[in-house]
Structure 1
Amino acid sequence: MERNRQSILVTGATGYIGSEVIVELCRLYGDTVRVRALARRGSDPAHLGTLPVDIVYGDLLDPVSLFDACDGVDIVFHCAGLVAYSANYRHRLYEINVTGTANLVNACLYHGVERLVHTSSVAAVGVSGTMEPANETTPFKEWQHRIAYMESKHLSEMEGMRGIAEGLDVVFVNPGVVLGLPSNSGQSLNSTTRAVRNIYRGKIPLHPSGGISIVDITDVAAAHLAAWKKGRTGSRYLVTAGNYSFRELFTMIGALSGSRYRGAVQAAPFVEQAAGAAGELYAALSGRKPYITIESMRLAGRFLFYNNRLSIEELGMSYRPAEETLKAVVAV
């Protein structure tokens, strides 16, 4: 029985997406798979303790640790990465998202891994420049190279494509803005989910002028498993439940039972820019990772909409309505 079990490695196992992928693997496949959870030294994998997984320690910037982690592995879910919309993080973003992916691709090639499912992002894909949703083939724009996170995720995909050219089977999952309650109660919420709660509590009086594409965390995990089983080599799959202007999102949150939201004013461009600068200044003074930044506010003024048709047609995805996700987030 042990020899027939597929061995699966999940990088970023203690993170928001990685831990949800592990939960879904254990739920759907049980003891037919053996899950190896890659965590960095210093991270806390305690919330994975109730799951039948093997914890291994390593780092994307330590090639030897990745070679050890991939030994005997059939499938790799590459969920590790850094999200930061700040030019101050450009070097670190390149290190983790690009060099780290290159190191993992090399380890997969060396050990003959059957398939690498790469957690990418809609940020790696081009945008339409209008309210028309982009698709998987929309060209990456010149201005996007000036957004450090977007460029790093785009280049990360290039490392995956390099792996394909060298014989590795790679498929890309490109989630929109992810939010929702993790299945594992020990996993912390991400910043977007916390922002939804603050809007619900009436703490955010301004909304940006653009729009985003959102998706529930449980759907993101389901898309990873579907990409493993059904995805075409080299294909991207945009994973999103729907596209909403910030005005629409704030209104939806305000309509939820018990909401203290009483309306928000659309921020003028100079206010968005000032908020981004203030966020970066606060981060510099406090030593904390910034949430509101100059780059994030520039993007918040655009309509970053994406088409999910390919994920529905080829992966069989059925997305949880945004209203359900928002309701669940504020109910706890």
Structure 2
Amino acid sequence: MVLVTGGTGLVGAHLLFHLANKGLKVKAIHRKQSDLRRVEKVFSYYSNDATALFKKIMWIEADLDNIPTLEIAFTNVTHVYHAAALISFDPRNYKKLRKVNVKGTRNIVNLCLAYGIKKLCYVSTIGAIGRSINGESMTEETEWNDAHTNVYALTKYDAEMEVWRGSQEGLDMVMVNPGIVLGPGFWKYGSGKFFSIAAKGQRIYPPSGTGFITVNDVVKMMVSLMESPIKNERFIAVSENLTYKKVVAIIAKELGKPGPKNKLKLWQLEILWRLDWVRTVLTGKERKLTKNGVFSLRKRRVYNNTKIQKYFPFEYESIEEALIFSSKHFLKEVS
């Protein structure tokens, strides 16, 4: 039996669909306030039998810091996909991020060891990949440097250290470091905001770019690695290195909106992150732009995705086609 954490998120929901569609026995943990209907909605994008597939999932209410409930989830499990994480770039949330991302991952690793789990797949982020200082594309071996790193990436890197510690203690594991994951269903969070921004016809766009990948490619890579003899390795999961302008432009076209036209200057961003700090102080709301966030926009980051090809052929799906597919569902659900 397979256990999935983070099943109510973009990657987790698509992973659950893939596993259920393969006929595997699957458990998934969720928090009390999780919206399971959104997961079933994701299933409906790809199947006319979404409800039946969704009912095959054995849902267990559990938190990553609640060992007794996690132990219930681990019963009779042989393989674990750990995709759960708290995503925030607000420095004020650092302690919360450590509790979920680091301590939560430590708990998962320890339970994997205690229950003799055959293999663990951990979903990290390209934010935990080191930054190149000479302009070369970044690989899994690029040296880590925490200078100017956002709080989310800091905690995901420390979570990786927990997974590597598990591998040294006898746990077989694989790790994927996805770029920005694109896919349908979660319009208010993460990459879903690209669709919301495009829908508003916003003409300004941030400079630079980064690595992108479709959610189905992330899932395909995770499952392929888990079913292979590969162990104790991590892989960058990026299909294309694109500018933010390019991604928003594709979506805007599909939504019938004008595309981005005016690039934000770095001096403007320096002013904006300071204004955002003031807004947060006055209102208590979540930070939208931070100093480290602006630093990341100073230089386009390019990621090398060839390592996976050394182990088995891996063909990526088209980012543009995935954005078109997602845009159609966005129009049906939000417009």
Normalising by the smaller structure, the TM-score range is: 0.7 to 0.9
**1:215 CA drift (Å):** 0.9
> Are the structure 2 counterparts of residues 208 and 301 from structure 1 closer, same or farther at C-alpha, using a change threshold of 3 Å?
farther
How far apart, in 2, do the equivalents of 1:166 and 1:250 lie?
A: 44
Are 1:224 and 2:222 matched, yes or no?
Answer: yes
Aligned residue pair count: 316
Corresponding residue number in structure 1 for 2:238? 240
Gap change, CA 1:302 and 1:91, over 3 Å in 2: farther
2:129 counterpart of 1:137: no
Deviations 1:220-259, CA, capped at 9 Å, x for gaps: 11111112112622211111120012344445455x3564
Percent identical pairs in the alignment equals 25
Corresponding residue to 2:321 among 303, 310, 324 = 324
**Equivalence map 1:65-144=2 (5 Å):** 65-129=69-133, 131-144=135-148
Aligned residue type for 2:211: S
Q: Secondary structure at the match of 1:143?
A: coil
Q: Distance in 2 between matches of 1:308 and 1:280?
A: 36
- In the alignment, what sits opposite 1:147? 150
Q: Is the 8 A contact 1:209 1:267 kept in 2?
A: yes
Q: For residues 281 and 14 of structure 1, do their structure 2 counterparts lie closer, same or farther at Cα, with a shift above 3 Å needed?
A: farther
Match of 2:3 in 1: 9
Call closer, same or farther: CA 1:196–1:294 in 2, change over 3 Å: farther
Counterpart CA distance in 2 for 1:48 and 1:200 is: 23
Query: Which residue of 1 is the match for residue 27 of structure 2?
Result: 36
Q: Distance in 1 between matches of 2:243 and 2:251?
A: 13
Q: TM-score by structure 2 length?
A: 0.86
- Gap runs ≥5 in structure 1: 1-6
Map residues 53-72 of structure 1 onto 2, 5 A cutoff: 53-72=57-76
Alignment partner, residue 210 of structure 1: 208
Q: Which runs of 5+ in 2 are unaligned?
A: 41-50
2:273 to 262, 273, 276: 276
The change in CA–CA distance for 1:80 and 1:176 in structure 2 (over 3 A counts) is same
SS at match of 2:303: coil
User: Per-residue deviation at 1:176?
Assistant: 0.3
Equivalent position of 1:4 in the other structure: none
Call closer, same or farther: CA 1:191–1:287 in 2, change over 3 Å.
farther
Q: Which residue of 2 aligns with 1:20?
A: 14
Specify the code of the residue in structure 1 equivalent to 2:308. S
- Cα distance between partner residues in 2 of 1:235 and 1:64: 30
TM-score (norm 1): 0.87
Counterpart-to-counterpart distance in 1, 2:195 and 2:160: 30
Distance, in Å, in 2 between the alignment partners of 1:47 and 1:294 is 33
> For 1:59-111, what per-residue CA distance to the aligned partner results, in whole angstroms no more than 9, with x for missing partners?
11112222221122100000100111121121111111111100111111100
SS in 2 for 1:212: strand
1:3 maps to what in 2?
none
Letter in 2 for 1:91: K
Stretch of structure 1 that moved more, 245-254 or 210-219: 245-254
Q: Which amino acid aligns with 1:38?
A: I
State the 1:318 CA deviation: 1.6
Residues of 2 paired with 1:258 and 1:34: CA distance? Answer: 38
Separation in 1, partners of 2:230, 2:291: 37
How far residue 190 of structure 1 moved from its aligned partner, in angstroms, is 3.2
Q: CA deviation at 1:288?
A: 4.7
Report the Cα distance in structure 2 between the residues aligned to 1:290 and 1:71, rounded to whole angstroms: 39
Distance across 2 between alignment mates of 1:191 and 1:227: 25
RMSD between superposed Cα atoms in Å: 2.3
Shift in Å, 1:322: 1.9
> Which is worse superposed, 225-234 or 153-162?
225-234
Q: How many Å apart are 1:206 and its aligned residue? A: 2.3
What is the aligned partner in structure 1 of residue 299 from structure 2? 302
d(CA) in 1 for partners of 2:38, 2:324: 24
